[in-house]
Amino acid sequence: MLGYDSFLASKAIRQHPILSFLMALAIALGIGTFMTIMTISYSIGKNPLPQKNDFLYRVQLDAGNPDRQSNDPRSRPDQLTYTDATALMRSTAAWRQTAMFGVQGVVRPVREALHPFEVSGRAVYSDFFEMFDAPFKYGGTWSTSSDENGEQVVVLSSSTNDRLFGDQNSVGEHISLNDELYRIVGVLDKWDLVPRIYDLSFSPPEETFLPFSTAVELEFRRVGSTNCWQPSPPGRDGFLASECVWIQFWAELEDSSKRDTYLSFLDSYAMEQKQFGRFQRPLNNAIHTIDEWIDYSREEDGGLTIFAIIALLFFIVCLINTVGLLLAKFLSRTRELAIHRALGASRRALFWRFLVEAGCIGFAGGLLGLAFTWLGLVGIRVLLRGQDGALHLTQLDPLLTAVTILLGIVASILTALYPAWRGSRDTPGVLLKGL
Amino acid sequence: MLEMRNVSKRYRTSTVETRALAELNLSVEEGEFVAIVGPSGSGKTTFLNVAGLLESFDGGSYDLDGEDVSQLNDKQRSQVRNQKIGFIFQNFNLIPDLNIFDNVDIPLRYQRVPSWKRSELVESALDTVGLKGRMKHLPGQLSGGQQQRVAIARALVGSPRLLLADEPTGNLDSNTANGVFDLLLELHNAGSTILMVTHEESMASHASRSVQIRDGILRAN
Ligand SMILES: Nc1ncnc2c1ncn2[C@@H]1O[C@H](COP(=O)(O)OP(=O)(O)O)[C@@H](O)[C@H]1O
Ligand SMILES: [Mg+2]
The total domain count for chain A is 2
Task: Tell me which residues have their CB closer than 6 angstroms to ligand 1.
Answer: A 430, 433; B 11, 13, 18, 20, 38, 40-46
Residue A112 pLDDT = 65
Same domain? For A275 and A318 the reply is: no
Cβ neighbours of residue A171 closer than 8 Å, sequence gap 6 or more: A138, A139, A184, A185, A186, A187
Average pLDDT of the segment spanning B124-143: 94
Distance CA B163, CA A129 (A): 84
> pLDDT per residue over B77-108, tens digit each?
999 999 999 999 999 999 999 999 999 999 99
Read off φ and ψ for residue A19, nearest 5 degrees.
-60, -45
Average pLDDT of the segment spanning B192-214: 90
The residue among A280, A299, A318 that closes a domain is A299
Question: Which residue has the least CA distance to atom 18 on ligand 1?
Answer: B45
Residue A255 pLDDT = 87
Q: What is the mean pLDDT of chain A?
A: 89
Distance CA A359, CA A43 (A): 29
Beta strands at B33-37 and B193-197: parallel, antiparallel or unpaired: parallel
Residue A226 pLDDT = 93
Check: CB of residue B144 under 8 Å from CB of residue B154: no
Distance CA A408, CA A325 (A): 16
Same domain? For A16 and A156 the reply is: no
Same domain? For A139 and A221 the reply is: yes
Over 90: is that where the pLDDT of A421 sits?
no
List the Cα angle A6/A11/A14 in 5-degree steps.
120
Same domain? For A358 and A396 the reply is: yes
Task: Sheet with B59-64: list strands edge to edge.
Answer: B17-28, B2-12, B59-64, B67-68
* Higher-pLDDT residue of A332, A128: A128
Question: What 3-state class would DSSP assign to B211?
Answer: strand
Distance CA B97, CA B101 (A): 11
> pLDDT per residue over B105-129, tens digit each?
999 999 999 999 999 999 999 999 9
**Residue B182 neighbours by CB distance under 10 Å:** 11
Residue B134 pLDDT = 93
The residue among A277, A299, A321 that closes a domain is A299
Residue B36 pLDDT = 94
Distance CA A376, CA A39 (A): 10
Ligand nearest to the CA of B40: 1
Ligand nearest to the CA of A429: 1
* CB pair distance less than 8 Å for B78 and A336: no
Average pLDDT of the segment spanning B7-13: 88
Same domain? For A268 and A148 the reply is: yes
Same domain? For A120 and A247 the reply is: yes
**Architecture in CATH of B29-56+74-220:** 3-Layer(aba) Sandwich (3.40)
Sorting pLDDT into bands at 50, 70 and 90, what band is A195?
confident
From the number of C-beta atoms within 10 Å of its C-beta (0-12, 13-18, 19+), residue B175 rates as exposed
Distance CA A344, CA B76 (A): 10
Same domain? For A116 and A258 the reply is: yes
Distance CA B206, CA B201 (A): 9
What is the total residue count of chain A? Answer: 435
Residue A70 pLDDT = 67
Q: Which residue of B has its CA nearest to A5?
A: B109
Question: Which residue has the least CA distance to atom 27 on ligand 1?
Answer: B41
Report the 3 state secondary structure along A26-88: HHHHHHHHHHHHHHHHHHHHCCCCHHHCCCEEEEECCCCCCCCCCCCHHHCCCCECHHHHHHH
CA of A424 to the centre of ligand 2 (A): 24
Q: What is the mean pLDDT of chain B?
A: 92
Distance CA A331, CA A359 (A): 18
> pLDDT per residue over A247-283, tens digit each?
999 999 998 889 999 999 999 999 999 998 898 888 8
Sorting pLDDT into bands at 50, 70 and 90, what band is A382?
confident
Sorting pLDDT into bands at 50, 70 and 90, what band is A429?
confident
Considering only the beta carbons, identify the residue of B74, B107, B109 that sits closest to A346.
Answer: B74
Same domain? For A217 and A264 the reply is: yes
> pLDDT per residue over A84-101, tens digit each?
999 999 999 999 999 999
Residues of chain A above pLDDT 70, percent = 96
CA of B163 to the centre of ligand 1 (A): 21
CA distances (Å), origin A52, targets A247, A253, A256, A260, A288: 21, 10, 11, 18, 12
Over 70: is that where the pLDDT of B221 sits?
no
CA of B143 to the centre of ligand 2 (A): 22
Of A31-35, A112-116, A190-194, A388-392, which gets the smallest average pLDDT?
A: A388-392
Same domain? For A93 and A242 the reply is: yes
> pLDDT per residue over A167-176, tens digit each?
899 999 999 9
Q: Does any CB of chain A come closer than 8 Å to the CB of residue B169?
A: no
Same domain? For A80 and A201 the reply is: yes
Check: CB of residue B216 under 8 Å from CB of residue B43: yes
Same domain? For A267 and A406 the reply is: no
Sorting pLDDT into bands at 50, 70 and 90, what band is A300?
low
Q: Which residue of A has its CA nearest to B154?
A: A343
> pLDDT per residue over A395-407, tens digit each?
887 888 888 888 8
Give which of B136, B135, B217, B148 is closest to B178, Cα–Cα: B148
Q: Which residues of A20-46 are buried (b: 16+ CB within 10 A; e: fewer)?
A: bbbbbbbbbbbbbbbbbbbbbbbbbeb
Residue A435 pLDDT = 45
Average pLDDT of the segment spanning A46-72: 85
Domain that includes residue A399, residue range: 2-46+302-433
* CB pair distance less than 8 Å for B87 and A349: no
ipTM of the complex: 0.95
Sorting pLDDT into bands at 50, 70 and 90, what band is B157?
very high
CA A260 to chain centre: 26
Same domain? For A72 and A95 the reply is: yes
> pLDDT per residue over A72-87, tens digit each?
777 789 999 999 999 9
